[in-house]
Structure 1
Amino acid sequence: MVTVALPNTWVYALRLPHDPRAARVARMTVRAALQGHGMHEFLDVVELLTSELVTNTYRHTKGPASLRLTALGDGRLRVGVWDSHPRIPAPFSKRPDDRVPPAPADADNGRGLHLVQQYADSWGGWPLADDLRGRGAGKLLWFEVGGGG
């Protein structure tokens, strides 16, 4: 009899209300999931980048958001954040070899998405299909860490 071992894959999904505390809830969820699965080496980076993306959903949209953590089984972890706004910001809207310049030192914001290109191994984003009434369904931004990327 042949036994097939499933790869170390798992998925966590979390729906986040439009609430200023959503980034904190997302960080706590990331920390619990990664610690529980022994992925300590990614913890700080994933927590930081997730917090930045979820904060942007609160700041730039009026609706809920969703967070999805996916262990891909080959040492990679993918984090996706959905929100209801269709615009895909740089660097997610650019090719990975296109770089977004850092925010000026005296700027109050604008550093979060630059951090993604500095610390994630890969990233991307796409608009989600229109619903039956012709309205956009928002966008999904994602990044990956691990796997030697």
Structure 2
Amino acid sequence: MRFGTCTSSTITPETTSAGGRRCFAVALPADGRVTADLRRAVREHARRWGVPDCADAVLVASELFANAVLHGTPAVGTSVRVEVAHLGECIRIAVTDGCRDRVPVRRDVSETAESGRGLRLLDDLTRDWDTTVAEDGKTVWAEVPIHPAT
């Protein structure tokens, strides 16, 4: 599932796709230093969309972006594309990098390991996630359920 015509060259504008979905998309430098900007953008857009409890979506976007930067971007100076859409009952986050050869694989990690829990986090926080491989790279996407305000 792709977002169709939802595109943007900056991180803040919101657009509407041909299907009427509220979304934003951005190509970010493959640099972990912009992760905070991405988290802020997801939080601000989710609140505009009427989703005040968006901590899970913010965390999932951050994890997917970090994984793309650490494991999926083959060359310095490349970018990572992030697309976020409000689909009514969920927020869908898709992160695309230029490396089609390295897809996410769950690992067993020890209690003392400092990393390796990201895919388990996706299992716990999303209703579904997967990877789509294309000629020019891969997209890891996740659908984070929207919980009603209490």
User: What is the aligned partner in structure 1 of residue 11 from structure 2?
Assistant: none
Residue 143 of structure 2 corresponds to 144
TM-score of the superposed pair, with normalisation by structure 2? 0.74
Choose 25-34 or 139-148, whichever is displaced more.
Answer: 139-148
Segments of 5+ residues of structure 1 without an aligned counterpart are 1-6, 91-99, 131-136
TM-score, normalised relative to structure 1? 0.75
Number of residue equivalences: 124
Query: Which residue of 2 is the match for residue 124 of structure 1?
Result: 130
Q: Which runs of structure 1 show a deviation greater than 3 angstroms over 4 or more consecutive aligned residues? A: none
Match of residue 77, structure 1, among 86, 91, 97: 91
For residue 69 of structure 2, what is the aligned residue in structure 1? 58
**SS in structure 2 of the partner of residue 21 of structure 1:** helix
Q: Matches of residues 12-23 of structure 1 in structure 2 within 5 Å?
A: 12-23=24-35
SS at match of 1:40: coil
Q: Is the 8 A contact 2:127 2:144 kept in 1?
A: yes
1:44 aligns with 2:55: yes
> Equivalent pairs: percent with the same residue?
27
Residues 8 and 102 of structure 1, relative CA distance in 2, 3 Å threshold: farther
What do the CA deviations read for 1:73-120 (whole angstroms, capped 9, x no partner)? x32221100011112213xxxxxxxxx465321112111121001110
Larger radius of gyration: 1
8 Å contact kept, 2:49–2:86: no
Gap change, CA 1:46 and 1:89, over 3 Å in 2: same
Instruction: Specify every segment of 5 or more residues in structure 2 that has no aligned partner in the other structure, as ranges.
Output: 1-18
